[in-house]
Structure 1
């Protein structure tokens, strides 16, 4: 009881502290030298001058935590009469009961609600407003002085250009973000051009001030807007304004303002896309690309200065450079694949949606899981998609329209001309009718799975059936695939001179990441997933791909590892088919490489005696590159690795190989319309009928041209 009678009241927040405390428990203000508070109030006690030793708490920048001068900062004798206790006002934000002379809430620093006149005592509000009557206290000269002072100085506040916080006129830096105070001319121009920003409550402002005092300088959270584009622009502007104190002395803020004023909508979309690559925001890249933005655009010095992140952005960088630096493989598929937007794409699966759904159900029904230790899923049907030979019967104009709608011209050009990966042999492409065509494919992260189904069944993996099968096979046979993957990666790193060894925990972490990619729709896949897909198909997969990532200027950005042969080495050879499928890889994107049906190959001698039906179409897929070097075989064990002769022997065991008259080692891909799935044949026929219907129009136009020439 004795200790309770000598509590002292904080002069700043009016909190009653224990006598042994030398600082306020609530706001950490020093104990005043004024008289202490007892249970019996002092009567007619005059106000005392503030103690010279009292020092309010300050932030790191040296500014006081007091936002504006108030009467609670003056130490005086408080009266704890029943009238004063009953006159406590409730905070509108946190409902804390504050003393009547406190102009801000002790808990959240929210400002006290204003009354009709400065001389009236504030009424209680919130949840306790109905149970406490309004009691008026006599006029406080200090309160009247501070109210008048606030009214006089409110118009002189300056607004921070970075976080829009209203600071007092004497402060040289923003209390929230430490942004320097602009000069008067800039302040007037910003005030005239700035849009009206929504009011920020005092509770959020106090939270930002607390985060700044803790050493972390963060920009205040932006209010939600209906226009997401404006929010993205504001994010870039805030990043440009949130600079350290050393950088603030070197940067000319007038120049930054001029740069921002010159920015157009396309420029903001480009900067937002650059920030999206770093933050993993795919929508920002799609927005920039859909607006017609140039993917090869480079960052300028002014744009790098606006982005203000030297560790991520460099002058001359493009979106491709950023995607490679931050290993955004899914974004590379969108950035590095230029789809021909002039011609509307029309593939067989789009023309016949009913048949496409039936084919998807047929694929799901043909998936089975092998019993035993190696419980991998596999397909029971052997299906190979080829373009129908009836295309050659169409008029040249119709053929050109068909190829524009079903092929990816950019991929075809890159694989044939820029880097001779396919169709480099005239013998295979012309005399043996083994020309490969790159089918158009979606640019999503599922391009590998889509290309595999396009090369076999002619459809996309829209329902993620093949992805789910890939994920289940990896998990159920994780030990088998993990052993092959670890041994292959160790050999690969040593063969390129990367002499390092990983701990088992690191190997497990990398393997867990590979497993997680298989379960995420839209996630880009790696070489290990192609190896597993070869086991699901029970047939080899040959990937013809570029060797290097290249920018639009022809610069080499990185090395690709996809090109080569993937064999189902964990199956028995008798359980697999020897007819492979072919895929194309171009700068983060996979495409199905298919051939066109032919009338047989009896008269196309290939250096081997081929006794098959005339209905069977044979496509010769080269197993060597344009320099006649053998393609790499992925995921070989230590016993299977050897020289080229041993690897060629291994290829002959898993594929039907032959050597052409020109000395090219090739694998034979066999397909037959008679043996193909009837649903796929029906889908292709309906798709081809769409172009047969426009044939008379083309013939009529050709006839009219002939008549004009005769005249």
Structure 2
């Protein structure tokens, strides 16, 4: 080969090496092409790498010393640490070229040489001190990350550049986006997550402002609340609700991608779905207080004020569960208890009373049950006897039926699923007796509609209802109310609407829960004749309880009060038109004398106004329930004391000339 050919080959080789180096800086070549030019550009970037022997950087994983321009460790492929590097310097052009050991004519010659090399690539060489902060970056409207001017999409979330979209209508679009700078290199791009929603990597002087912007971002607070539910941090949820956030807001597919936890988040899920999925009961109660039951405002039931006592009451209820031996091996509670609101609420000031009832009651359910035609409190005579019913606020997580019954008996929610477990066990162990009653009732109801279900259909429906009882959070049906009446060993009276409406007021279907459920498979002597009372509205059960008559309450601690000293409330067994309430799961012979069946299982009486009513005995409260109510009342008593003046009224001296103590007028 001639000398001229050898010189030409060496010139082409050097040219290709420099082009490979520039392409590596522009992000158009792989890591292998970057290593080709490490020897050529090691001196140019000596000031931007951590100190080490010959300017090499040491891998944090395997301690192997790599060349300065290596983006990954040659041995273990770990990314190069960014500590000590200014990742916001634009390293394409003069900012990456002058080295500390070049000065004067040598530096100028080196810059001119590289500038000539850049011309074929159509990359302009910026001034020697150009940096990222000197460029006019565009801020992403979705995640607020500041991107390089020529990028067509956000480096973090993938949203389009609005300036590029506007310019596309005027000028043709570029064939390819601008090459990413080292600030957007592969090593600095991490999977999109919650920390990227309000901005990506920022310069140190922008970190504080960007962090403050995140805290004030409603979307960022919303995603933090979602993470708070998963991680059990109620403070994030409270912060979201405190800023006026909607507890019914649902996750979008884009937000699920930002959270980057597919195993925990799904599109369309709300905070309530997450709280149920991860069993965050406290967070769920706070959310349901905002979106269901009692409407807006905080709910403060006695079990919330005294959670330790409420938990002790639930343990006490669980200890009272027994199993009956014999032909009907069902579970039952060994004691009878009826919850009522204490009479001391009448001693509170009117404003405090209004606050108490707004935080305790379900006003929406109360209005629905008292609307025309009224289901409760329609008899002025019974209301005068202290039998006005109040709908307690209840959770709506699918367990509202056992919760309402536990509230009506003990004043607490069935958080431990004690009643639900007893219900499922009863349907499995006492299936024979319950299935026969249920099957005969279903055939009778279908016969009225000129329909005859077959045996396979009935068995399939029974299996579905029995399985629903075993899954907490699953809605329950009429059969479950009937079975729970046997677990409680007492009648259950349900006052409910005839039609269930949607939130738009559209009729969704008929509701057939209203009526009386009797423990017909027990012996009457084994059961109590004092019923529990529930309300049913919009697919939701609520406990209906009266206020006990005002009397000295010191005797309620004593469990051996005489029977004649027990207070009573009266529950109507007819509707406002005088029609007898339906009695569910009766046979054809029993339906012929429904009123006689009611009198056999209930303490029924007829008032002076001719209203057939059942006597509900307000049993002596257990000690734990009495203590819980006392702590709950003390909260409102303290509020009442704060509304009064700190000093007693000043007394006038005996010898005052302006007033007389003997004959003060009303005005005085």
TM-score between both structures, scaled by the size of structure 2: 0.55
Counterpart residue number, 2:547: 596
Counterpart residue number, 2:659: none
With over 3 angstroms needed to count, the CA separation of the structure-2 counterparts of 1:514 and 1:186, relative to structure 1, is farther
Matched, 1:504 2:456: yes
Counterpart residue number, 2:534: 583
SS of the residue 2:447 aligns to: helix
The 5 A counterparts of 1:414-453 are 414-417=368-371, 420-430=374-384, 432-453=385-406
Distance (Å, rounded) in 1 between the aligned partners of 2:504 and 2:301: 32
The 5 A counterparts of 1:29-40 are none
Q: CA deviation at 1:443?
A: 2.6
With over 3 angstroms needed to count, the CA separation of the structure-2 counterparts of 1:184 and 1:491, relative to structure 1, is farther
SS of the residue 1:584 aligns to: strand
Q: Deviations over 1:174-211 (max 9, x none)?
A: xxxxxxxx9999989xx99xxxxx999xxxxxxxxxxx
Q: CA deviation at 1:385?
A: 0.6
Counterpart residue number, 1:461: 414
Q: CA deviation at 1:227?
A: 7.9
Distance (Å, rounded) in 2 between the aligned partners of 1:623 and 1:439: 21
Counterpart residue number, 1:337: 292
Distance (Å, rounded) in 1 between the aligned partners of 2:597 and 2:197: 57
Distance (Å, rounded) in 1 between the aligned partners of 2:570 and 2:172: 72
With over 3 angstroms needed to count, the CA separation of the structure-2 counterparts of 1:339 and 1:406, relative to structure 1, is closer
Q: Please tell me whether the aligned partners of residues 394 and 695 of structure 1 are also in contact (alpha carbons under 8 angstroms).
A: yes
The 5 A counterparts of 1:344-359 are 344-359=298-313
With over 3 angstroms needed to count, the CA separation of the structure-2 counterparts of 1:578 and 1:614, relative to structure 1, is closer
Counterpart selection for 1:689 from 614, 619, 634: 634
Distance (Å, rounded) in 2 between the aligned partners of 1:223 and 1:697: 51
Counterpart residue number, 2:624: 679
Q: Please tell me whether the aligned partners of residues 397 and 698 of structure 1 are also in contact (alpha carbons under 8 angstroms).
A: no
Distance (Å, rounded) in 2 between the aligned partners of 1:665 and 1:444: 35
With over 3 angstroms needed to count, the CA separation of the structure-2 counterparts of 1:183 and 1:583, relative to structure 1, is farther
Counterpart residue number, 1:373: 327
SS of the residue 1:359 aligns to: helix
Q: Deviations over 1:238-297 (max 9, x none)?
A: xxxxxxxxxxxxxxxxxxxxxxxxxxx999x99xxxxxxxxxxxxxxx999999688999
Counterpart residue number, 1:666: 613
Counterpart selection for 1:386 from 305, 316, 340: 340
Q: Please tell me whether the aligned partners of residues 336 and 587 of structure 1 are also in contact (alpha carbons under 8 angstroms).
A: no
Q: CA deviation at 1:505?
A: 5.6
Distance (Å, rounded) in 1 between the aligned partners of 2:472 and 2:185: 41
Matched, 1:648 2:595: yes
With over 3 angstroms needed to count, the CA separation of the structure-2 counterparts of 1:710 and 1:511, relative to structure 1, is same
The 5 A counterparts of 1:106-117 are none
Distance (Å, rounded) in 2 between the aligned partners of 1:383 and 1:338: 25
Q: Deviations over 1:47-83 (max 9, x none)?
A: xxxxxxxxxxxxxxxxxxxxxxxxxxxxxxxxxxxxx
Counterpart residue number, 1:616: 566
Q: Deviations over 1:391-440 (max 9, x none)?
A: 2222222222222222222222221136511101111112x211001112
SS of the residue 1:670 aligns to: strand
Q: CA deviation at 1:639?
A: 3.6
SS of the residue 1:592 aligns to: strand
Q: Please tell me whether the aligned partners of residues 621 and 666 of structure 1 are also in contact (alpha carbons under 8 angstroms).
A: yes
SS of the residue 1:582 aligns to: strand
Q: Please tell me whether the aligned partners of residues 294 and 361 of structure 2 are also in contact (alpha carbons under 8 angstroms).
A: no
With over 3 angstroms needed to count, the CA separation of the structure-2 counterparts of 1:702 and 1:503, relative to structure 1, is farther
Counterpart residue number, 2:71: none
Counterpart residue number, 2:148: none
With over 3 angstroms needed to count, the CA separation of the structure-2 counterparts of 1:589 and 1:575, relative to structure 1, is same
Q: Deviations over 1:636-679 (max 9, x none)?
A: 2434453xx61111111110111122221111101133xx3222
Counterpart residue number, 1:364: 318
Q: Deviations over 1:495-529 (max 9, x none)?
A: 245x2524516632x22222222222222222211
Q: Please tell me whether the aligned partners of residues 490 and 530 of structure 2 are also in contact (alpha carbons under 8 angstroms).
A: yes
Distance (Å, rounded) in 1 between the aligned partners of 2:429 and 2:610: 43
Distance (Å, rounded) in 1 between the aligned partners of 2:427 and 2:197: 40
Counterpart residue number, 1:154: none
Counterpart residue number, 1:256: none
Q: Deviations over 1:589-640 (max 9, x none)?
A: 211111111158xxxxxxxxxxx85531111101112222221112x24344
SS of the residue 1:391 aligns to: helix
Matched, 1:472 2:425: yes
Distance (Å, rounded) in 2 between the aligned partners of 1:291 and 1:493: 52
Higher alpha-carbon deviation: 613-622 or 456-465: 613-622
Counterpart residue number, 1:628: 578
The 5 A counterparts of 1:167-316 are none
Counterpart residue number, 1:91: none
Counterpart selection for 2:513 from 551, 562, 568: 562
Q: CA deviation at 1:580?
A: 0.1
Counterpart residue number, 2:367: 413
Distance (Å, rounded) in 1 between the aligned partners of 2:399 and 2:649: 47
Counterpart selection for 1:572 from 523, 542, 560: 523
Q: Please tell me whether the aligned partners of residues 337 and 587 of structure 1 are also in contact (alpha carbons under 8 angstroms).
A: no
Counterpart residue number, 1:638: 587
Counterpart residue number, 2:441: 488
With over 3 angstroms needed to count, the CA separation of the structure-2 counterparts of 1:527 and 1:657, relative to structure 1, is same
Distance (Å, rounded) in 2 between the aligned partners of 1:436 and 1:506: 37
Q: Which stretches in structure 2 are left out of the alignment for 5+ residues? A: 1-29, 37-73, 76-151, 159-167, 179-183, 200-216, 223-237, 253-268, 274-283, 552-561, 651-665
Aligned residues: 466
TM-score between both structures, scaled by the size of structure 1: 0.52
Distance (Å, rounded) in 2 between the aligned partners of 1:417 and 1:593: 16
SS of the residue 2:516 aligns to: strand
Q: Which stretches in structure 1 are left out of the alignment for 5+ residues? A: 1-110, 118-125, 128-157, 165-181, 193-197, 201-221, 231-264, 271-285, 298-302, 304-318, 324-329, 601-611
Q: CA deviation at 1:372?
A: 1.6
Distance (Å, rounded) in 1 between the aligned partners of 2:173 and 2:452: 58
